[in-house]
Structure 1
Amino acid sequence: MNEQAGAPGTAKWLLGGLGILIALIGLVLAGGGAYLSSLGGSWYFLLMGLAMLVSGVLIARRKPSGAWLYAVALVLTAIWAVWDAGLDFWPLVSRVLTFAVIGLVIALVFPSLQRADGRAAGRGAFAVAGVLAVGVVATLGYMFVPTHVVTASSEPAVQPVKPGTEQKDWAHWGNTTAGNRFAALDQINKGNVDKLQVAWTFHTGDVPQSTGAGAEDQNTPLQIGDTLYSCTAYGKVFALDVDTGKQRWMFDPKGSAPNWQRCRGLGYSETPLAADAGPQACAKRLFLPTGDARLIAINAENGEACADFGDNGVVDLSVDMGEIKPGYYQQTSTPLVAGDVVIVGGRVADNFSTGEPPGVVRAFDVRTGELAWAWDPGNPNITKRPPEGQTYTRGTPNVWSAMSYDAKLGLVYLPTGNATPDFFAGTRTELDDKYSSSIVALDVKNGQVRWHFQTTHHDLWDFDLPAQPLLYDIPDDKGGVQPALAQVTKQGEIFVINRETGVPIAKVEEKPVPQGNVPGERYSPTQPFSVEMPSIGNQTLKESDMWGATPFDQMLCRISFKGMRHEGVYTPPGLDPALQFPGSLGGMNWGSVSVDPTSNYMFVNDMRLGLANYMIPRADIPKGASGIEMGVVPQDGTPYGAMRQRFLSAAGIPCQKPPFGTMSAIDLKTRKLMWQVPVGTVQDTGPLGIRMHLPIPIGMPTLGASLSTQSGLLFFAGTQDFYLRAFDSGNGNEIWKARLPVGSQSGPMTYVSPKTGKQYILISAGGARQSPDRGDYVIAYALP
């Protein structure tokens, strides 16, 4: 008796609470939707919000009509979602799933609504609830299913390694000076890769700290014979046994830098000793670039500085540079060993001011450390040291990423940055504009420019070239090959150029781009587009491309989008808020590409992060502005600073629809996109930085290098979750992954031990970019 009497009261409170909740959700949607529609955006959120507001009130008053109104709104939502987003899974989830769950709850309580209204409760509502439940469960289940963006329509045959052609050493950051990141090894293959297990783990003891200074482990080790050489973010170098990981020696440069500490790789040179060489001379030497602007030569056999190089093993890279404030100039990428010279550029701090340290590129004799030549982008008359009392030209475009070298042609290829600051260029010189954001080919003998090709004119977007150029011979239709250079860019374009002449192989068109109106600035009327190569992740966004984990953050992203000016990749910065997509991280970044010469497939990983920015008049820039990553950058010496923010939702998720990072295979012969897959899950990240602990393969921003092997495998670890993965390079299917103790931004490499004949896959794991977890791991995998 008491239970029956209490039931109507319980239902009353249940329905009242549910109705109020729905009404509040509707009120939020209606308010945000009204603002969105006032900006010229979609009316859907206003109309859905009003429908939910009325529906919630009716349900709170225990009226079945509230459920019927919500049912109509849910059906219309599904129709609108397909019209707005098409049949893409993740955009539909963002638009429908939350409302479907609410509909499921309403269907379950509908009999109570009928009884409260004095009607007999039917069973039809439970059938509707069942359909909705099946749909919700199926949707949640499908979230875990890997789905290709582009599915392979054909697969190249795997060609076995011919005896005598096996790779012997991994002697350069990109394996070769061509930057191919390809290993002619097939002991580990598609048939046994699932049996890989940890062979050994080495701890450097030098954990990169992610707070404050922002140190990051982005190293790809070298392997020469039976020894591995690895460097840490702070510049320590370790020599390890290839089979056991046992330390043979360690070198500590005892350097320091206030920010941006990293060592992406070492250089290696092996030259016969002169007859009169002293006891401390080095036949085999490593070149270590440091964060405090030194180039150090280390004896690869014992870890001691090479006394015959520079000043007791050290070349001071601050010489002839003028004033260098702490953190304004440093080495972050691998030096290029090109025959008898070792070549370095340097990272210059972005966006603090004009007149920052020079972007000069210098070549030093690998034996003596003597300056062989210098390329000063601002003064072609300076070919070695500047005149007494002068410096290299300050504030010029620099080369912070890795360079490539073709020994046959005698050319070195430099991917240049832009003259700082990034977002106002009215003060740049003619030579700044000439060599900014370009591929520059220099004669390795004297540093003279042979040719250059510009990928962004008068760069206002920080679209400096971030990646090592790939040198590759592309088969033609006449039985020969074309000496090509492939350059990936932050703006998602891929340029393929004849590396001997600088003339494009894949057609490039100059297309008109939007013009800005910032006083004192000038604008290029056109920009180059590589129209015969696939563009990756650089579409012009529309409001319907906005996304969110729920309709609420999707609505907020739409409001943000409609409040900004967006005219495609080359949307110029202005005094009003503008959206740059891709942003200054890319697109493609420093990890560059790998290639499989047996299939002509080039593998490209990308991130898809937008940048919201606007210019700030000099008088309005807050004191202490630095903006090393995001925030207000001062750009001293120009009329404006700039605000930079990632284009993220309130939950910290990119505002545009997934994927946010992919791996793609491009056939360099046909110039076709062969497959593309999302890379990375929310296992170790999620909304508001909360780890979801779910292997949902949505595709997260990537940062790092890949490795291709002749066995048809592609290895990659530069994701936001903590895994080293192996993909089938013919179709993009993930066929193996190993859980790492922390994330990795490093490039995998592989080698065969000359002692045991065993092939290893090696990865350095110091932490993923967006994760606070850091480590000091060097991990080798092998077959049991």
Structure 2
Amino acid sequence: MGRAWLATLGAVILLAGLYFIGGGGWLAWLGGSWYFLSAGVILVAAGGLIIRRRMLGVVLIAAVVAYTAIWALVDVGLQFWPLLSRLFAFAIIGAAVAFSVPLFSRTRKTRIAGVAFGAVASVGVVVTAVSAFEPKNIIRDAESVAAAQQVKPQNDEKEPGDWKAWAGDTHGSRFSRVGDITPANVKDLQVAWTAHTGEAVVPGVGDAEDQNTPLQVGDNLYVCTTYSTVISFNIDTGKENWRYAAGKGNSTYQRCRGMAYFDATTAKKVADVPGVAADATLNASVSPQRLIFPTGDGRLMAIDANTGKPVANFGDNGAVDLKAGMGEVKPGYYQQSSTPLVAGNLVIVGGRVIDNFETNEPPGVVRAFDAVTGTLVWAWDPGNPAVTREPLSPEGYTRGTPNVWVAMSYDAELGMVYLPTGNATPDFWAGFRTDADDKYGSSIVAVKVGTGRPAWSFQTVHHDIWDFDVTGQPLIYDIPNDDGSVSKALSVTSKTGMIYLLDRTNGKPLADIEERPVPQGNLAGERYSPTQPYSVGMPNIGNEVLKESDMWGATPFDQLICRIIFKSSRYEGVFTPPGEDWAIQYPGSLGGMNWGGVSVDPTTHLMFINDLRLGLHYNMVPAKDIPPGTGSSEGMGIIVQKGTPFGTWRERFMSPLGVPCQAPPFGTLSAVNLKTHKLVWQVPVGTVQDTGPLNIPTGLKLPLGMPTLGPSLATKSGLLFFAGTQDFYLRAYNSRTGEELWKSRLPVGSQSGPITYRSEKTGKQYVVIFAGGSPHSDKRGDSVVAYALP
């Protein structure tokens, strides 16, 4: 038995050493660390000696464990997760060999020493494993946290708390003044009711995901499904009031992130409607309260908020064809995926244009329609400033222009709408783009609400060849200054991990921004911006410049592969240009910060941001080398980019086990003080309970901090709710400190925004989340879950 055990143990160590020699030799040849090669030589020798029952093998194992510990400390210092990936496996090997010492020696002292070392190593393994379940990588600025804690949580007992817009308001705030649920009693929060839409997404059938943030008005909770169905539930019981099915739409990209609510009895006129008398524009005796939402096949629908019936006098029996004036629109190439914006008597929509299939795709035009009649009021065509409403060409609006696919913001006081733009598609080769494309791509464009004419624009990425669209709804926020004045701010988050703080009256920076030189590429026909705007006056989140020692893995073995990929790839920071050689993009095109936007607490001036940290490993592929009929427009693998000289091959920057190659955290929640511009706190969010290596759920609540996608919710009582993690939980945090106070298991994951309201009938405050599933898991659901205090 002893011989068999040592033969097995020695063989495992020998094979590990051979792996280290092969991979480590490659890494050393690439100019990387020599540790793996040298450790591999020792392991091979030790494995062979252990198979032969030579005590020298034990000595060599002790030497390689000590060598590894010293190297790891020099490589990464005292960082927990990086040390774990370097030392944990060797600690287990060392313990196994130490416990085997009695099989090598008859000397009593040697046997006792071996078993004692094995026991110490085992205790270290256990202590480390237990410690792994405690959050790491927590950042807290003591002074800023203390200042936030001095602000007493407040509650407005008279606030009804209706949630009438995607972000609660048109400012992108995601803030509620309802505060019956507090940091002190949130631990008692429990499920009040659960409802179901009956339209759970089928995994693998079309590109469909549930990402809806509900609306709440009076006694009605409104939910839209991926398949363009709207349902009204009773806010106290979850009982279904009515539903309206608008049709499933296309099968290439199906989303309903949210709806708009319009009340003609309270709306203020901000623009005249062509062909309609000024005093008649708000005459909505038919269905004065309306829900306005987009469908997957490119329609804008209006239904009565009380009955769910189509509004007869809006467009064609409740529908406006958004493809009108757009020229050729191939199936699935265009639809509005995010919530429309209601601004006074207007409803404003952009459109999601499919990425990267080809040039000359549908226009990125932004249009305003009368919320009563559905009549087109104005249009902003990024490619033709002469267009004010209908297109001036029989072919329609300018094709292939930068589009607005995420939520917009509206400042009624200034009469300004803020548009976050993407890029003229395709994304990764842009030699075809016009001056107008380059002027408005990856920008914030402020337009006048009554006319749609641009007042100013600010560009976050010049000539964007990375798919760094502006994705988050801009936050409108008034910052009080020490001299008693107020700075009318606009906070813009980005996929690059940068936060831009602008004066929303003119687009000028309120926090320092520097134009810095960036690396230049060499693709034929491409041009490159010599500089990019770096936000240096606000915290940067998850966009540190990687180095080899930042490479990570669940084990040293997949970490070695990540090191090889890193050292064999071109990488020069955030703006590493694509090329025909393999390069690393970090942050990747998912972000950074994505479409969920931010939330804010105006009592503390804290803005809350969630991020994801997934890099890309990619290269540009000459079009002639792409086999006909292969490739797609989005996701991983070959991206076609028809009409350009290059497609691209993209893969996630991950180890063979499907673990991100850089060290944790892979996603965080952060609080930034908008007045002081300081990072107040940052905590990892999410565990590997419902995911893991090879996409196999581990069931372990290890708080690495996982990639996040979805909006958060802040309350005046000092809470922050969030569900957009890769494990199936809705969590509540102390918004002053980042401390997790409560969590509740959801049926499946969620990418939706939580909302809160107080029922006028029962007086209860509810927190509601839609749980339909998240992209990393094939588990899907259709649950609307409401929580309340008992």
Q: TM-score, normalised by structure 1?
A: 0.97
Distance 2:387 2:456 in 1: 18
1:248-263 pair list within 5 angstroms: 248-263=241-256
Distance between the aligned counterparts of 1:558 and 1:387, measured in 2?
54
Contact 2:639 2:648 in 1 (8 A): yes
Q: Secondary structure at the match of 1:122?
A: helix
**Distance (whole Å) between structure 2 residues aligned to residue 32 and residue 630 of structure 1:** 26
**Displacement of 1:276:** 12
1:166 aligns with 2:166: no
Could you report, residue by residue, the CA deviation over 1:336-377 in whole angstroms, capped at 9, with x for unpaired residues?
Answer: 000110000000011111100000000000111100100000
Residue 265 of structure 1 and its aligned partner are, at CA, apart by 0.5
Deviation at 1:475, TM superposition (A): 1.4
| Conserved? CA contact 1:717–1:745, under 8 Å | yes
Aligned to 1:143: 132
Determine the structure 2 residue equivalent to 1:712: 718
1:685 partner letter: T
Farther off after superposition, 268-277 or 627-636: 268-277
Matches of 1:514 and 1:508, distance apart in 2: 18
1:241 maps to what in 2?
A: 234
Q: What is the rounded CA distance, in whole Å, between the counterparts of 1:458 and 1:164 in structure 2?
A: 50
Matches within 5 A, 1:539-618: 539-618=544-623
The whole-number CA distance in structure 1 between the counterparts of 2:448 and 2:404 is 16
- Tell me the distance in 2 between the aligned counterparts of 1:448 and 1:80: 60
Match of 2:182 in 1: 189
- The answer on whether the counterparts of 1:218 and 1:746 sit within 8 Å (CA) in structure 2 is yes
Whether 1:23 and 2:14 are equivalent positions in the alignment is: yes
Aligned equivalent of 2:708: 702
1:314-713 → structure 2 map (5 Å cutoff): 314-387=319-392, 389-624=394-629, 625-713=631-719
Give yes or no for the alignment of 1:283 onto 2:276.
Answer: no
Q: Aligned equivalents of 2:427 and 2:36: distance in 1?
A: 38
**Matched-pair contact (CA < 8 Å) for 1:152–1:731:** no
Distance 1:92 1:312 in 2: 64
Tell me, in whole angstroms, the C-alpha distance in 1 between the residues paired with 2:172 and 2:633: 32
User: Per the alignment, do residues 26 and 189 of structure 1 end up closer, same or farther by CA in structure 2, a change over 3 Å counting?
Assistant: same
CA–CA separation in structure 2 for the residues paired with 1:204 and 1:356: 34
Once the two structures are TM-superposed, the CA of residue 166 in structure 1 deviates from its matched residue by: 2.4
SS of residue paired to 1:688: helix
The 8 Å contact of residues 280 and 306 in structure 1, kept in 2 or not, is answered as no
For 1:505 and 1:759, locate their aligned partners in 2 and report how far apart those are by CA, in whole Å.
Answer: 37
CA contact (8 A) 2:195 2:238 kept: yes
Which whole-Å CA distance do the structure 2 matches of 1:749 and 1:74 have between them?
51
1:479-515 C-alpha deviation (Å, 9 max, x unpaired): 2210000010000000000001110101110000000
Task: Kindly provide the amino acid, as one letter, of the partner of residue 596 in structure 1.
Answer: D
1:315–1:522 distance in 2 versus 1, CA, 3 Å = same
Would the aligned equivalents of 1:209 and 1:216 in 2 still touch at CA under 8 Å?
A: no
What is the match of residue 772 of structure 2? 766
Q: State the partner residue of 1:726.
A: 732
1:112 paired to 2:118: no
State which of 111, 116, 122 in structure 1 corresponds to 2:111: 122
What is the letter of the counterpart of residue 733 of structure 1? E
Q: Secondary structure at the match of 1:123?
A: helix
Q: Give CA-to-partner distance per residue, 1:69-101, whole Å, 9 cap, x none.
A: 110111111010010011100000000100110
CA–CA distance in 2 between the matches of 1:311 and 1:176? 29
CA distance in 2, matches of 1:525, 1:396: 23
Q: Aligned residue for 2:25?
A: 34
SS at match of 2:258: coil
CA contact (8 A) 1:280 1:308 kept: no
Task: After TM superposition, list the pairs within 5 Å mapping 1:174-185 onto structure 2.
Answer: 174-185=167-178
Distance 2:787 2:365 in 1: 40
Cα deviation, 1:613-650, whole Å, max 9, x if unaligned, reads 11111110122221421111111111111111111110
Distance 1:353 1:237 in 2: 33
Q: For the residues of structure 2 that align with 1:739 and 1:323, how far apart are their CA atoms?
A: 46
- Whether the 8 Å contact between 2:254 and 2:296 is mirrored in structure 1 is yes
| Alpha-carbon distance change, 185 to 498 in structure 1, aligned in 2, over 3 angstroms | same
> 1:669-718 deviations in whole A, cap 9, x for unaligned?
10000110000001101000111101110000000000000111000000
Q: Tell me the amino acid that sits aligned with residue 740 of structure 2.
A: E
User: Is 1:84 aligned to 2:75, yes or no?
Assistant: yes
Match in the other structure for 2:271? none
Q: CA deviation at 1:127?
A: 1.6
State the partner residue of 1:58: 49
Q: Which runs of 4+ in 1 moved over 6 A?
A: 273-280
**Take 1:767 and 1:275, find their aligned partners in 2: how far apart are those partners?**
44
- Which amino acid letter does the alignment assign opposite residue 272 of structure 1? T
Q: Distance in 1 between matches of 2:282 and 2:492?
A: 41
| One-letter amino acid of the structure 1 residue matched with residue 360 of structure 2 | G
Contact kept in structure 1, 2:749 and 2:771, CA below 8 Å: yes
The alignment status of 1:782 with 2:771, answered yes or no, reads no
Letter in 1 for 2:347: V
Cα distance in 1 for partners of 2:608, 2:110 equals: 60
Residue identity (%): 58
Shift, 1:260, TM fit: 1.6
Q: 2-side partners of 1:414 and 1:103: how far apart?
A: 58
Quick check: 1:165–1:184 contact (8 Å CA) kept in 2? no
Deviations 1:417-452 (CA, angstroms, capped at 9, x unpaired): 010000001000000000000000000000000000
Matched residue type, 2:656: A
Shift of 1:164: 6.7
Shift of 1:288: 1.1
How many Å apart are 1:390 and its aligned residue?
3.1
Inter-partner Cα distance in structure 2 for 1:606 and 1:165: 34
Query: C-alpha distance in 1, partners of 2:155/2:80?
Result: 44
Structure 2 spans left out of the alignment, 5+ residues = 267-278
Query: How far apart in 2 are the matches of 1:276 and 1:330?
Result: 27
- Distance in 1, matches of 2:470 and 2:688, equals 29
Distance 1:692 1:243 in 2: 36
Aligned equivalents of 2:282, 2:88: Cα separation in 1: 74
CA distance in 1, matches of 2:78, 2:280: 73
Amino acid at match of 1:710: K
Cα offset for 1:24? 1.0
The amino acid of 1:456's aligned partner reads V
Shift of 1:212: 3.5
How far is the alpha carbon of 1:277 from its aligned partner? 10
> Counterpart amino acid of 1:77?
T
2:50 is paired with a residue whose SS is helix
Distance 1:185 1:90, change over 3 A: same
- Matches of 1:668 and 1:315 in 2, distance apart? 40
1:709 alignment partner AA: T
CA distance in 2 between partners of 1:276 and 1:112 (Å) = 92
Cα distance change on mapping 1:163 and 1:67 into 2, 3 Å: closer
The Cα offsets for residues 505-544 of structure 1, whole Å up to 9 and x where unpaired, read as 0111000000000010000000001101000000111010
Contact 1:328 1:348 in 2 (8 A): yes
Q: TM-score, normalised by structure 2?
A: 0.96
State the alpha-carbon separation in 2 of the partners of residues 170 and 572 from structure 1.
43
Structure 1 residues 607 and 279 mapped into 2: Cα distance closer, same or farther (>3 Å)?
Answer: closer
Per the alignment, in what secondary structure is the counterpart of residue 582 of structure 1?
A: coil
